[in-house]
A and B are shown apart, each in its own frame.
Chain A
Amino acid sequence: MTHAASSPAPETVPQQRPSGQPFLSVRDLLVHFPTVDGVVKATDGLSFDLARGKTLGIVGESGSGKSVSSSTILGLQRGTRAIVKGEILLDGTDLLSISDEQMRLRRGRDVAMIFQDPLSAMHPYYTVGNQIGEAYMVHHDVSKKAARARAIEMLDRVGIPQPDRRVDDYPHQFSGGMRQRAMIAMGLINDPGLLIADEPTTALDVTVQAQILDLLQDLQREFNSAIIIITHDLGVVAEMADDVLVMYAGRCVEYGPTKEILTQPQMPYTWGLLSSVPDVAGDTESRLVPIPGNPPSLLNPPSGCAFHPRCAHLDKVPGNLCRTDLPDLTPATTGGNHVKRCHLVHPEDVWAKEVLPEIAPELAEQNQEPTA
């Protein structure tokens, strides 16, 4: 699964950028929605960096604030009653402080988004070519004919057969995989520096999923764009992402290079996510280990660490700390830029001794020998 996960030269410290300033830098992003029942804290103090040509995977359960954060980068919350604070620096410009019109001009050109379920994300009444060409025409002063030619070119690029004919089809005449390819064509038609993919493979069957992910990687190499991929599928993360950000209840709970997050996670919620992934090569009789309980309400999140009501390792923390104090994002023991939000003093021991033997015994044995 991880054949193309990392870039040609594996970096131990991805945060060191040659230019010093990362392409995308999100600082303390906060998105709150005032409702009649109170304030929904969809995103609370989220920070991450992303360089061109790199991929960030954002994972978390439904309602953990993944999609809200990303659509805020696109400025889609504008015109609603959402309260947004923090900074979103794209190439040095704060997307939160520019005017609506300036944001609109960047939308689709500098930052583009592809959505899950392309059947509902495309307008049923217009041809695929019309919708793709429209994305080009709005940012380029070209004729309809030129936009159409460009749409055909993009459809060809994303691997739609006979693009000059399929360009006049309606979305319902495309298969699910082709629709997602068309969505990608629409997203990439203006060569955006940043592409946000919101669960791009959720509605597709697995063979098509793999094709779509390969396509995204090819295109990323070609256009050197930064990609944020939002998913709850850790397989997708392993395949695509350079860095992973795990979200829980609107907050980042663990963030670091993909390899470290997947092999040496230091936060019980990440453990839970990894435990609930089925092992293809594993015993068919073996049971998945779900995370007990339900995702918390963002209206009234639990006190202290939001994960404490579902955490199996509460007793390893002295006193009532997990219930009363929100843990800070602190560097993990693996070093580098791997951070975690957990009160556990030695999470690496708990992982190696308790969690890993349970979900992947053979890996646990290997890990007994010290490897860096």
Chain B
Amino acid sequence: MRRIFAGVIMLILMSLVTYVLFFSGGLHPERAACGKNCSPAQWEQTKKALGYDKPAVVQWGEFLKGTVAGRTYPEDKALAKANPSLVSTCPAPCLGYSVVNTTNVSTEVKTAFPVSFSLAILAFIMWIVGGVFFGVIAALRRGTVVDRGIVGVSLIFYAFPTFWIGLFFLKFFAIQWQIFPVPSYVNLTDSPLAWLGNLVLPSLTLALIYMAGYVRMTRAFVLESFGEDYLRTARAKGLPNRRVLVKHSLRASLTPIVTMAGLDFGALVGGAIITESVFNYDGLGALAVDSVRTLDLPTIVGLVVVLAAFIILANIVVDILYAVIDPRVRLG
């Protein structure tokens, strides 16, 4: 409970920081909305209409109020009464209204989120399974060609830029050999099979980058656990090797892997910008890049809050998992 409370405080502070930083840069987010031939007077008017004339902190206050009570754009009661079709409503929890995309930020996030989340979760499964599997193999075959091969190959993938691997997959697996479809996002609810098939290449691209770290980490922690006294005890009991490895060694190595995996996943939900660009997926990463390019403040703030919320959530989940894994840990 205390953690969730701290998390909410953190989110509020992060939105404030975003507002302050945005306006400290001398940017003119209203310029684009003003049109091609923009006189100073028109400019002023646009600025006022969009609410960018107020101090950053005031705008932040309105944003906060909106997340609880909802907002209307523009904030003009008379206009709303006289001509309701000119006013856009943003029901609570309102993250803002994007003038650039002429839609509510929450709608933007809702559209882009499943794309990024699907990509993240599939990549996550791939790299955890692959990373732990190859890490254990490398640890068991320590010092042999197999060990060096696994560590070496995973490093090669780690060293290659994402866009290179992504384009490579796209060119050969999708276009030349046509093993997988040229990826385009399909909703899970529309066709689970197509959803999966289309996600294989992008997720694999993403997973290969992350996997290197997990291979090395699993290898290191499994090797470390081999030196522990309790592993010697397990062997002294006459347990078969497989059981010593799975029940005693891997369980002990789980804590650090879960920590890193939780945080990596939380961050990845926020969008894999390069992977999404290569495969032309309209996920949160792509949305973030566009919003920064067009100085779309409401979208930027909305994304910051949503993505930060995911990282905080991942942290809380990791903390809870600690207590599940290690009986010595008590949740405070």
**Cβ-neighbour of B236 out of A105, A108, A127 (below 8 A):** A108
In the complex, are the beta carbons of B230 and A135 less than 8 A apart?
no
Q: Once the chains are docked, how many angstroms separate the CA of A205 from the CA of B103?
A: 72
Those of A122-153 within 8 Å (CB) of chain B: 122-127, 131, 134-135, 138-139
**Cβ-neighbour of A76 out of B235, B248, B251, B325 (below 8 A):** B235
How many residues in A have their beta carbons less than 8 Å from beta carbons of B?
Answer: 29
Report if B228 contacts A (CB, 8 A). Answer: yes
Known contacts being A104-B240, A170-B327, A172-B328, is A124 close to B230, with CB within 8 Å?
A: yes
**Cβ-neighbour of A121 out of B232, B243, B251, B328 (below 8 A):** B232
- Chain B residue numbers with a CB within 8 Å of A170 are 327-328
- Chain B residue numbers with a CB within 8 Å of A166 are none
Q: Once the chains are docked, how many angstroms separate the CA of A33 from the CA of B267?
A: 47
Those of B272-321 within 8 Å (CB) of chain A: none
Residues 241-270 of B, flagged 1 when their CB comes within 8 A of A and 0 if not, give: 001000110011000000000000000000
In the complex, are the beta carbons of A125 and B326 less than 8 A apart?
yes
Q: Once the chains are docked, how many angstroms separate the CA of A105 from the CA of B232?
A: 15
Report if B2 contacts A (CB, 8 A). Answer: no
Residues 184-206 of A, flagged 1 when their CB comes within 8 A of B and 0 if not, give: 00100000000000000000000
In the complex, are the beta carbons of A120 and B238 less than 8 A apart?
no
* Least CB distance, B224 to chain A, in whole angstroms: 13
Q: Once the chains are docked, how many angstroms separate the CA of A59 from the CA of B232?
A: 22
Those of A53-111 within 8 Å (CB) of chain B: 71, 74, 76, 104-109
In the complex, are the beta carbons of B233 and A121 less than 8 A apart?
yes
Report if B126 contacts A (CB, 8 A). Answer: no
What does DSSP make chain B's interface, helix, strand, loop or mixed? Answer: helix
**Cβ-neighbour of B232 out of A115, A124, A126 (below 8 A):** A115
How many residues in B have their beta carbons less than 8 Å from beta carbons of A?
Answer: 21
Those of B177-230 within 8 Å (CB) of chain A: 228-230
Q: Once the chains are docked, how many angstroms separate the CA of A117 from the CA of B232?
A: 13
In the complex, are the beta carbons of B230 and A121 less than 8 A apart?
yes
* Least CB distance, A175 to chain B, in whole angstroms: 15
In the complex, are the beta carbons of B239 and A134 less than 8 A apart?
yes
Q: Once the chains are docked, how many angstroms separate the CA of A354 from the CA of B154?
A: 68
In the complex, are the beta carbons of B230 and A123 less than 8 A apart?
yes
* Least CB distance, B185 to chain A, in whole angstroms: 40
Measured CB to CB, the nearest residue on chain A to B232 is A76
Report if B237 contacts A (CB, 8 A). Answer: yes
Known contacts being A124-B328, A125-B326, is A106 close to B238, with CB within 8 Å?
A: yes
Q: Once the chains are docked, how many angstroms separate the CA of A74 from the CA of B239?
A: 13
Q: Once the chains are docked, how many angstroms separate the CA of A105 from the CA of B237?
A: 9
Report if A112 contacts B (CB, 8 A). Answer: yes
- Chain B residue numbers with a CB within 8 Å of A186 are 233, 237
Report if A31 contacts B (CB, 8 A). Answer: no
In the complex, are the beta carbons of B327 and A125 less than 8 A apart?
yes
Report if B234 contacts A (CB, 8 A). Answer: yes
Measured CB to CB, the nearest residue on chain A to B326 is A125
* Least CB distance, B142 to chain A, in whole angstroms: 11
In the complex, are the beta carbons of A107 and B327 less than 8 A apart?
no
**Cβ-neighbour of B238 out of A107, A122, A124, A131 (below 8 A):** A107
In the complex, are the beta carbons of A125 and B237 less than 8 A apart?
no
- Chain B residue numbers with a CB within 8 Å of A123 are 230, 233-234, 248, 251-252
- Chain A residue numbers with a CB within 8 Å of B240 are 104, 138
Measured CB to CB, the nearest residue on chain B to A120 is B229
Which one of B235, B236, B239 has the highest number of Cβ atoms from chain A below 10 Å of its Cβ?
A: B236
Which one of B230, B235, B237, B326 has the highest number of Cβ atoms from chain A below 10 Å of its Cβ?
A: B237
- Chain B residue numbers with a CB within 8 Å of A71 are 232
* Least CB distance, A283 to chain B, in whole angstroms: 39
Report if A113 contacts B (CB, 8 A). Answer: yes
- Chain B residue numbers with a CB within 8 Å of A107 are 235-238
Known contacts being A104-B240, A112-B236, is A122 close to B327, with CB within 8 Å?
A: no
* Least CB distance, A351 to chain B, in whole angstroms: 39
Known contacts being A123-B252, A125-B326, is A138 close to B239, with CB within 8 Å?
A: yes
Q: Once the chains are docked, how many angstroms separate the CA of A76 from the CA of B236?
A: 7
Known: A106-B238, A115-B232. 15 other contacts (CB 8 A): A105-B238, A107-B235, A108-B236, A113-B236, A115-B229, A115-B236, A121-B229, A123-B248, A124-B252, A127-B327, A134-B237, A138-B237, A138-B239, A170-B327, A186-B237
13 contacts between A and B (CB under 8 A): A74-B236, A76-B235, A104-B239, A106-B238, A115-B232, A123-B252, A125-B326, A125-B327, A131-B233, A134-B239, A170-B327, A170-B328, A186-B237
* In the A-B complex, the 6 residue pairs with the closest CB atoms: A108-B238, A107-B238, A120-B229, A108-B237, A123-B230, A135-B237
* B residues neighboring A (CB under 8 Å): 228-230, 232-240, 243, 247-248, 251-252, 325-328
